[in-house]
Amino acid sequence: MSSFVARRVAQAVLLLIAVSFVSYGIMNVAPGGPLAVYLHNPQVTPDKIDLLRHQLGLDRPWYPRYLAWLGGLAQGHWGYSYYTGRPVLAMIGERLPATFTLMLGAFVLAIGLSFPIGLYAATHKYEWGDNLLSFGAFFAWAMPTFWFGLMLQLLFGVQFRLLPVAGMHEIGVTSAADLGRHLVMPAMVLGLGSMASWSRYLRSSLLDTLGQDYVRTAHAKGLSRRRVLRRHVLRNSLIPIVTLMGLDLPALFSGAVVTESIFGWPGMGRLFLSALNNRDYPLQMAGLMISAALLIAGNLLADLTYAALDPRIKYD
Amino acid sequence: MRRSALLVAVCLGLAAALSGMARASVPGGTFVTVITENPDNLDPYLHGLLASGSVYRYVFDSPFTVDWTGRWKPALATSYTVSPDGKTWTLTLRSGVRWSDGHPLTSADVKYTWQLATNKDVHITYATGFDKIASIDTPGPTKVVYHLREAYAPFREQVMGAPIIPQHILGPLPADQINRAPFNQKPVGTGPFTVTEFATDDHVTLSANPLYWGSKPKLRRIVVRIVPDQNTQVNLMRAGDLSVLTGVPPARLEEMRRAPAVAVKRYLSPVYQLIQLDEYGFLKDVTVRQALDFATPKASIIRNVMKGQAEPAVSDMVPNGPWANKTLAPRPFDLDRAKAMLRGDGFVPGPGGVLTKNGRRLEIPLWTLSGRQTDAQMIEVIAQAWRALGVATETHVASAAALFGQNGPQWNGKDAALLFSWGQGTFPENRINWHSSYIPKDANAPGENAERYSSPEMDRLLDEADRTVDEARRRAIYARIQELEHRDVPVIFVFWFVNNNAVAANVSGYDVSTFGETPPESWSTR
């Protein structure tokens, strides 16, 4: 087991290096560059832009710059943002808690809602409740995030004044209750898609398992329905859902970009979005690396959970 | 069933408990505004994003300033004199001014500001005018004598209107440390407010500066919130979370006008919308450019796309400002006249109705920036009219980096038209836009005159305007410069933007015009 994990981690490192090389290359051949932002600023004169280009090393070809960046990364230096001049690591560190709070909120919400919904739908197949939940899930899946977010704001923030429209805290307040109030709407918006898909997959996986011979046998042995569901059905139905959850980790991370923008949530998504818009290469690369690492970690996590759930799966 | 009822009850109870919590509020004196981007750097000489100016303007002062009525007023200085040859400017500083950390402001700070702005090792983005200074003498703590390399009329606006920064904080630091100094996030200034908290991507809190040299601020603090989405900003205003919202989007203006406890203030913004005409082929021909101006339905765009939130433009000087040439009028939309001009210029209709000359088709693609719905609508409206004139026009939308960058349409050697906006501000100095020395040499050498407009008379006038310190003479030169802009059409002036600011009912002392806002120390909230 541990050798399997070690092998996977080694593969992941190689994969991340490949991802970084391709990303850096594409970024540098894309039209425009970090200084294009200044081209549109009447205060910044052409000779200033030339000087900035030299100061930032942008007058050198991209591959030596890439190697310098990779060398820095190997020593734990993530570089400095072109725009703020601040260390990239410090900027990410400031926002990490906000993004993980939001992701965790969305994750908990999605699990908390998708399990009972999926279970109910599977055990009440084709009844009106199941049909209603199916409709709701497809609707939630298809709804544009920004529209849903703005509707929630208008309803709960403007109309009823129940929840704050945007931000993470009231100015000068740092209580957990205040954070909770601010978290409700963004977590709902971010978690909604996952909630919808997990509940649908869980429903079909449960239906699949419920039709198995060993379930019928368990019922025939006189076990209670609840016990059959919990001991035999649910556990075996979880395998595809766990895969989904693992794969949804990076999706939650990238979905946070839109959610954070709508709700003014001070997380990493917004940081990387502005880095992309401004071509702040060091910050952009950090975002890509974190995103790729999350994807790989999510996959590994899913594989390991398989083994825990299904004794037939063994890694060596 | 009972279990689900219990769950619903718990949820409802939780919601009620959450909503019942009192919002934290400071009794009186907090003014909340909002910006879309995180300020990248609060040092006025190192910042790249406009959002930074929305914060540091409360923190720093300049020797002179333009008040909200457009008049020049002394701030950190009390007076200045200019020698007859225009090369020596003598400034007298106000005495008794202190930095927010208690240090006195002296002439050394003024001199250091120039040294920083011209320091080649610091990531300076703003230094216009400072390069004209040969040396600075400081004969006393309140006396500054600037010696210029040559007479330079915009010196007052560009240098004496620029913020002064503290020598005692940044002076001892080497260049690379200035680029990364904590000062860039928590600056020390002489202005009415000072930054007390900077929560990146969330908000900046500024508290009243007790050492401020001017009248004591009525507010206790200003909070600048950072929220990227414009619709969310409107929702914040409607929920009563903002004191002022700058630039209500036209689509939600009506809703804002109807909102209770909110007033909407309309004013002309010193930002104009233009179509840059890249002069590579047919666009070198002034007749073609004039015809395109006639074929651009400006009035219809103002009415239908901008919903009336714009005013006609004829030059780059804001029409209600002191520099506008009032004798000029925009070319009306007249397709017949445009067609006749092009026929007279040797163009004949070819296959598909596209005009051709010497066997070449008149092809002018029209580009704009992504992310602005109104701009995307505008290029469609304009392209439709140009096609009716006989121009082969395809529309394209691209990001700023793609549009203005080295692989963009400005560098492919072909005619192209680019629609975007330009903040001329309220000062006349526009050399970088029209002077032929600002035509970029190649794709890697930036220059603001990317339309490649070149006119010996324009160059001569711009040089002369820079040398002319006499106000009346300078005004006459800029009037002529605007006549050339109108005659030669280096760009098509589409309109000036109108802004609408929403102001909460509990705010007093706040007003806004083309030239700026009332001083923040006079704002208050009940």
Nearest residue of A to residue B196 by CA position? A172
Cβ pair B416, B367 in contact under 8 A: yes
Q: How far is residue A311 CA from its own chain's centroid?
A: 29
Cβ pair B91, B140 in contact under 8 A: no
Cβ neighbors of B129 (< 8 A, separation 6 or more) are B152, B154, B155, B157, B158, B159, B162
Q: Kindly state the percentage of chain B with pLDDT values over 70.
A: 93
* Alpha-carbon gap, residue B83 to B469, rounded angstroms: 10
Does B9 score more than 80 pLDDT?
A: no
Tell me how close the Cα of A196 comes to any Cα of chain B, in angstroms: 20
CB contact under 8 Å between B399 and A55, yes or no, is no
Q: What is the mean pLDDT of residues A114-132?
A: 93
For A48, the closest of B127, B185, B399 (CB atoms) is B127
For B400, the closest of A37, A55, A80 (CB atoms) is A37
pLDDT, tens digit (0-9, with 9 covering 90-100), for B350-364 = 999 999 999 999 999
> How many other C-beta atoms are found inside a 10 Å radius of the C-beta of residue B402?
19
Does A261 score more than 70 pLDDT?
A: yes
> What interhelical angle do A281-309 and A268-278 show, nearest 10?
140
Mean pLDDT computed over every residue of chain B: 91
Give the pLDDT score at B447: 67
Place of tokens 């560098």: B411
Question: pLDDT confidence of B443, banded at 50, 70, 90?
Answer: low
CB contact under 8 Å between A41 and B128, yes or no, is no
> How many other C-beta atoms are found inside a 10 Å radius of the C-beta of residue B148?
20
For B41, the closest of A55, A84, A171 (CB atoms) is A84
Q: In whole angstroms, how far apart are CA B352 and each of B389, B392, B395, B459?
A: 12, 9, 18, 40
The torsion of the CA quartet B519, B502, B40, A34, rounded to 10 degrees, works out to -130
For residue B180, what are its two tokens?
A: 């990364």
Mutation for testing the A interface, residue in B235, B258, B407, B434 having most A CBs under 10 Å: B235
DSSP per residue, B326-384: TT--PPP--HHHHHHHHHHTT-EE-GGG-EEETTEE-B--EEEETT-HHHHHHHHHHHH
Mean pLDDT computed over every residue of chain A: 89
Nearest residue of B to residue A162 by CA position? B19
pLDDT, tens digit (0-9, with 9 covering 90-100), for B385-400 = 999 999 999 999 987 7
> How many other C-beta atoms are found inside a 10 Å radius of the C-beta of residue A146?
16
pLDDT, tens digit (0-9, with 9 covering 90-100), for B87-114 = 999 999 999 999 999 999 999 999 999 9
Q: Summarize chain A as % helix, strand, coil (round to 5).
A: 75, 0, 20
Does A288 score more than 80 pLDDT?
A: yes
The torsion of the CA quartet A86, A90, A94, A97, rounded to 10 degrees, works out to 150
Give the pLDDT score at A205: 94
Q: Kindly state the percentage of chain A with pLDDT values over 90.
A: 51
Instruction: Find the range with the poorest average confidence among A81-90, A114-123, A202-211.
Output: A81-90
Tell me how close the Cα of A147 comes to any Cα of chain B, in angstroms: 10
Cβ neighbors of B68 (< 8 A, separation 6 or more) are B511, B512, B513, B515, B516, B517, B518, B519
With 0-12 / 13-18 / 19 or more C-beta atoms within 10 angstroms meaning exposed / middle / buried, residue A84 is buried
CB contact under 8 Å between B404 and A80, yes or no, is no
Give the pLDDT score at B445: 61
Whether the CB of B141 is below 8 Å from some CB of chain A: the reply is no
Q: Residue type at B31?
A: F
Q: In whole angstroms, how far apart are CA A291 and each of A20, A93, A243, A250, B369?
A: 11, 15, 18, 6, 28
Residues of chain A contacting residue B405, judged by C-beta atoms under 8 Å apart: 31-33, 36, 39
CB contact under 8 Å between A266 and B202, yes or no, is yes
Instruction: Find the range with the poorest average confidence among A221-235, B194-208, B266-280.
Output: A221-235
Question: pLDDT confidence of A39, banded at 50, 70, 90?
Answer: low
Give the pLDDT score at A187: 96
Name all contacts of B475-480 with Cβ < 8 Å and 24+ positions apart: B475/B322, B475/B323, B478/B317, B478/B323, B478/B325, B478/B428, B479/B325, B479/B327
Q: Which residue has the higher pLDDT, A39 or B327?
A: B327
CB contact under 8 Å between B125 and A52, yes or no, is yes
Q: Which residue has the higher pLDDT, B10 or B406?
A: B406
Q: In whole angstroms, how far apart are CA A44 and each of B46, B124, B157, B176, B265?
A: 11, 9, 16, 20, 31
CB contact under 8 Å between A46 and B407, yes or no, is no
* Alpha-carbon gap, residue B383 to B391, rounded angstroms: 9
Q: How far is residue B521 CA from its own chain's centroid?
A: 23
> What interhelical angle do A176-210 and A235-263 show, nearest 10?
140
Give the pLDDT score at B25: 35
* Alpha-carbon gap, residue A151 to A193, rounded angstroms: 16
pLDDT, tens digit (0-9, with 9 covering 90-100), for B28-64 = 489 999 999 899 899 999 987 888 999 999 999 999 9
Q: Would you say the C-alpha torsion B489, B491, B492, B498 has a positive or negative sign?
A: negative
CB contact under 8 Å between B40 and A277, yes or no, is no
Nearest to B63 by CA among B83, B92, B95, B42: B92
* Alpha-carbon gap, residue B82 to B344, rounded angstroms: 52
CB contact under 8 Å between A95 and B227, yes or no, is no
Q: What is the mean pLDDT of residues B83-89?
A: 94
Instruction: Find the range with the poorest average confidence among A69-78, A82-91, B11-20.
Output: B11-20
Whether the CB of B170 is below 8 Å from some CB of chain A: the reply is no
Q: In whole angstroms, how far apart are CA A189 and each of A15, A149, A304?
A: 32, 6, 29
Bridge partner list, B147 = B88, B135
CB contact under 8 Å between B226 and A261, yes or no, is no
Q: In whole angstroms, how far apart are CA B253 and each of A183, A263, B375, B410?
A: 29, 21, 18, 35
> How many other C-beta atoms are found inside a 10 Å radius of the C-beta of residue B403?
25
Entry pTM: 0.85
CB contact under 8 Å between B404 and A39, yes or no, is yes
pLDDT, tens digit (0-9, with 9 covering 90-100), for A161-199 = 999 999 999 988 989 999 999 999 999 999 998 999 999
Does A312 score more than 70 pLDDT?
A: yes
Q: Would you say the C-alpha torsion A93, A94, A99, A100 has a positive or negative sign?
A: positive
Give the pLDDT score at A239: 82
Give the pLDDT score at A41: 63
Question: pLDDT confidence of B14, banded at 50, 70, 90?
Answer: very low
pLDDT, tens digit (0-9, with 9 covering 90-100), for B157-183 = 899 999 999 999 999 999 989 988 999
Chain A (47-76) residues lying within 8 Å, Cβ to Cβ, of chain B: 48-53, 55-56
For B201, the closest of A36, A43, A266 (CB atoms) is A266
* Alpha-carbon gap, residue B63 to A137, rounded angstroms: 62
For residue B522, what are its two tokens?
A: 């006079």
Give the pLDDT score at B23: 37
Residues of chain A contacting residue B260, judged by C-beta atoms under 8 Å apart: none
For A264, the closest of B226, B400, B404 (CB atoms) is B226
Q: How far is residue A83 CA from its own chain's centroid?
A: 26
CB contact under 8 Å between A153 and B200, yes or no, is no
Q: What is the mean pLDDT of residues B306-317?
A: 95
Cβ pair B220, B9 in contact under 8 A: no
Q: Which residue has the higher pLDDT, B277 or A146?
A: B277
Chain A (214-243) residues lying within 8 Å, Cβ to Cβ, of chain B: none
Terminal CA-CA length for chain A: 5
Cβ pair A81, A91 in contact under 8 A: yes
